[in-house]
A and B are shown apart, each in its own frame.
Chain A
Amino acid sequence: MRFYRAHVLVCAGTNCSLKGNRAVREALIREIEGKGLGEEVKVIETGCFGLCEQGPTIVIYPEGVLYCRATVEDVPELVDSHLLKGRRVERLLYREPTRPVAVQTVPELDYFKKQVRVVLRNCGIIDPDSIEEYIGQGGYTALAKALAMKPEEVIAQVKASGLRGRGGAGFPTGLKWEFGRKAPGGVKYVVCNADEGEPGTFKDRLILEGDPHAVLEAMAIAGWAIGANYGYIYIRGEYQLSIQRLERAIEQARRLGLLGQNIFNSGFNFDVEVRIGAGAYVCGEETALFESLEGKRGEPRIKPPYPTDVGLFGKPTVINNVETLANIPPIITRGAEWFRTLGTEKCPGTKVFTLTGDIVNEGLIEVPMGITLREVVYEIGGGIPNGHKFKMAQTGGTSGGCLPEALLDVPMDYDQLAAAGSALGSGALLIMDDTHCIVDVARCFARFFLHESCGQCIPCREGTLQLYHLVDGITRGTGTRQDLELIERLSRTMYVAPLCPLGQTAPLPIMTTLKYFKDEYLAHVDSRVCPTGTCRALATGHAAD
């Protein structure tokens, strides 16, 4: 093993790779070699660090100095000043909007102070293409520990942790595993749902890019717990980098005997295959995902039977989201009691959120369940940029609800957000400032569901079409008060009638905008005025009282 006096970590997540991280990394290596530092300093590509807006981000250890928005032109100065002379490059340090002075090192960042990294424990820290670095961080010890336990004990541990499905539904993971274990049948499957399609969500992508082995390890543990020897990862075709890193991780794990036959000499066999989707939001619904894996149109099945009884290829199947699975290894190694010290009583643990829209720190964060929207937006997210005012936050992606400023103090977990009329969902947080028109945004939501409805059941196929036309009409200045009533009536039907959650949640974002921003709708229908000037067919300005 070689020792280095400094490690230069360059984020290689998708968001940073769009900002030229590769060129920066190559320039760093060239410059370091050129200065004769190749034996002393190591450059490592890591997964996402979280501060996507500031990319490409570089962290230099042992001090943990964070540099942001570095370009190829900055590289000679960085190497000469920081790595040779030991002087920090002030102008590339991160400046938090809340403080006048530049942040020097990672632990000082306000951005990280409220974060607790369980799922993202390795993201931005290890080289995701190196199984050795994962093992160096304690990787695969949870699998070893689980294989020394009885499957029932593993399930009991997961049940006791209170972990709930992070894909959005919040179903207790341990209970799902128990159903899978108890289902009769010789052949069973573990499926990882990596078909992340909820608008505003990119957490699973960045988990897989940053720490692919965590998911493989957890799938093997799930296989042992329920009695399955084969797992599938269903991932969307657009996630090229995640697919590459997963394929490489699977090869490495097979080579070291951590996947395949007789893992840890336990007699347990488990292997994993990656299957790639072809573009359909509805395939994130578990039974539609099975249909797609079986080579069919991704049309949801009627439930019951539930997947743990009749799942993939008609066999009992446990299907878990990427983030859910990434929680499993720490629960096994550190125990359910530890996990319960995080989050709320009914929703223990952390939640990964993706911050998008009008917020200073767009990116990826992980916080304890129960944190308030206000803390996330203002303390971690850095507030609203360009001097604008907060207007609303949509939680849970496009299938979640929109919350106004008055609800900024709602604690965010599955139950409390549902009680507020919204949803935690996948953890997407879309922040909008007061320059955006609420009806125009509602039209965008309606269009999404119209586009993504699979067309199988009538309430969704026709309902999403009618919802779109109604909202679209309001943005074009042809809407009436009757249309608003019709939206409400149609929504009441759609909450219950469609076959799957796609149709059932389609009205939620629109109904919450109507509930909390009714005046803005009324300005559109009564006065033919769009207060923000977004809807071009209408007059701009404030509606007459």
Chain B
Amino acid sequence: MAVALDKLSPDLREQRLREVEAAVARHRDKPGALLAVLKEVQGILGYLPEEALKKVSQGLELPLSQVYGVATFYTLFNTRPRGQHIIRLCESAPCHVQGAREVLEALKRELGIGPGEDTPDGKWSLELVSCIGVCGVAPAIMIDDQVYGNLTPDCIPGILASYR
């Protein structure tokens, strides 16, 4: 699981925040760069804590309300630490009619959590998302950046095991 910022050692915490400042500085002169900055910051910290959002707000000279508003609007951003791997299951119609419901049940069974939850060991998070554009191989899930298609409930244990 992404470690919460206040749980890091003081040195590491300082170092991460300096990386955040550097990322902000790199984008400062680009118009409308907020999404790109938040994506980078999330890459550094694993999520978008309040302290990082304040740094972004100061660095880009944008109101904190706008930065927070953007961080909570888009589904790919998280303002709390999530599991080490995020599983996104498509629940849109093409996947739904090809058996996404059964795949979701297999995931719930294997992980012991429901959509929007994280496993207690911090390894997994489960999300329901809209179409990810691989409907030719429905039903599909994404684990981090990797897509898996043509799924049946039987595929799930093997896929999860490959991350152990």
Q: Which A residues lie at the B interface, using CB under 8 A?
A: 14-15, 18-19, 52-53, 196-202, 205, 236-240, 275-281, 292-298, 313, 354-358, 362-364, 394, 398, 428, 430, 432, 436, 441, 444-445, 447-448, 451-452, 454
Contacts and interface: CB of A to CB of B under 8 A. Distances in A.
B130 A297 contact: no
A14 to B, nearest CB: 6
Contact of A354 (B33, B36, B129, B136): B136
Contacts of A293: 32
Contact of A295 (B62, B76, B94, B140): B62
A239 B92 CA distance: 17
Contacts of A313: 31-32
Nearest to A240: B145
Given A199-B92, A436-B97, A281 B137 contact: no
A444 B130 contact: no
Nearest to A234: B35
A276 B136 contact: no
A354 B138 CA distance: 12
Given A18-B147, A197-B131, A356-B135, A280 B74 contact: yes
Contacts of B128: 451
A238 B88 CA distance: 11
Contact of B92 (A277, A295, A444): A444
Contacts of B132: 238
A276 B135 contact: no
Contacts of B130: 197, 199, 281, 448, 451-452
Nearest to B132: A238
Interface residues of B, number: 43
B10 interface: no
Contact of B32 (A237, A294, A364, A444): A294
Contacts of A197: 130-131, 133
Given A200-B93, A430-B93, A278 B131 contact: no
B134 to A, nearest CB: 6
Given A19-B137, A278-B76, 18 more contacts: A14-B133, A15-B137, A199-B131, A200-B131, A201-B131, A201-B135, A238-B133, A295-B31, A295-B60, A355-B136, A356-B138, A357-B94, A428-B94, A444-B96, A447-B91, A448-B93, A448-B130, A454-B73
Contacts of B129: 279
Interface in B75-117: 75-77, 91-94, 96-98
Contacts of A436: 97
B39 interface: yes
Contacts of A202: 133-136
A201 B69 CA distance: 29
Listed from nearest, the 4 A-B pairs whose CB atoms lie closest are A295-B34, A52-B136, A279-B75, A278-B74
Interface in B26-81: 31-36, 38-39, 60, 62, 66, 69-70, 73-77
A447 B91 CA distance: 9
A278 B97 contact: no
A444 B93 contact: yes
Nearest to A435: B97
Nearest to A361: B136
B142 interface: yes
B142 to A, nearest CB: 7
Contacts of B133: 14, 196-197, 201-202, 205, 236, 238-239
Contact of A357 (B32, B70, B97): B97
Contact of B97 (A18, A239, A441): A441
Nearest to A436: B97
A362 B136 contact: yes
Contacts of B142: 238
A430 B94 contact: yes
A295 B134 contact: no
B38 to A, nearest CB: 7
Contacts of A357: 94, 97-98, 138
29 contacts: A15-B149, A18-B140, A197-B133, A199-B130, A200-B93, A201-B133, A201-B135, A205-B133, A236-B133, A275-B35, A275-B36, A276-B39, A277-B35, A278-B39, A278-B77, A295-B34, A295-B35, A296-B70, A313-B31, A354-B136, A356-B135, A357-B98, A357-B138, A362-B136, A430-B94, A444-B91, A444-B92, A448-B91, A448-B92
Contacts of B39: 237, 276, 278
A28 B95 CA distance: 32
A362 B98 CA distance: 12
Contacts of B32: 275, 293-295, 313
Interface string B131-164: 1111111101010010111100000000000000
Contacts of B98: 357
Given A200-B131, A296-B34, A280 B137 contact: no
